[in-house]
Amino acid sequence: MNTKTLRLGVLVSGRGSNMEAIIKAGEEGKLNAKVVVVISDRSEAPALKKAERKNIKSLYVNPKQFSTKAEYEEELIKIFSSFEVDLIILAGFMRLLSPRFLSYYKNKVLNIHPSLLPSFPGLEPQKQAIDYGVKVSGCTVHFVDEGMDTGPIILQRAVPVLEDDDAESLAERILKEEHDLYWRAIQLIAEGRVTIEGRKVILK
């Protein structure tokens, strides 16, 4: 199998625990991919410090310094291009990317969402799941398109909702699975096993 070592750029707004799990999978030789640059829209994001400790270039790009969203995203594209990034990984990035950005990186932006999409997209999906009373939730790795959590699905994993769960305890159990699932989806892409046909992701 023709496996390529992918160069990953990460967009993050917070603690970056999924980013850490991806870096770790790479270090352990399970993942043919390397995080080469981490960009945050928040100066105080713990993910930046975590990346620095791993000697990964970490940058705070302040959206408020740009007069338009287009200019801000142009800067992101410029940075990712300079690092020759193959895939962009969203790891708790709290901004919607524009159609222009997504067409530039068509089928090259990944996200992980803590529900079994298309159920419970958007904010607080764990609370949505608890409030709705579902017995099973989980997480989904998908390509990012112009909608909110609507892109083609690569991998999903189910997590049972327990009787005494609240949003926090459910989120914690789902997060453990996220940490294992995200890098596996990236590895499938590194192995050239992912193709998209319409809405469907075909795994060879």
The answer for 47, left when phi > 0, alpha when psi is -120 to 50, beta otherwise, is alpha
179 among known catalytic residues: no
**List 113, 117, 179, 181, catalytic entry:** 113
Contact 119, 139 (CB under 8 A): no
Which residue is associated with the tokens 């997060």?
175
Rounded to whole angstroms, the Cα distance separating 13 from 9 reads 14
Contact partners, residue 192, CB within 8 Å, separation at least 6: 1, 2, 3, 4, 204
Rounded to whole angstroms, the Cα distance separating 163 from 130 reads 10
Dihedral, 7, 145, 139, 53 alpha carbons, nearest 10 = 30
Active site residues: 113
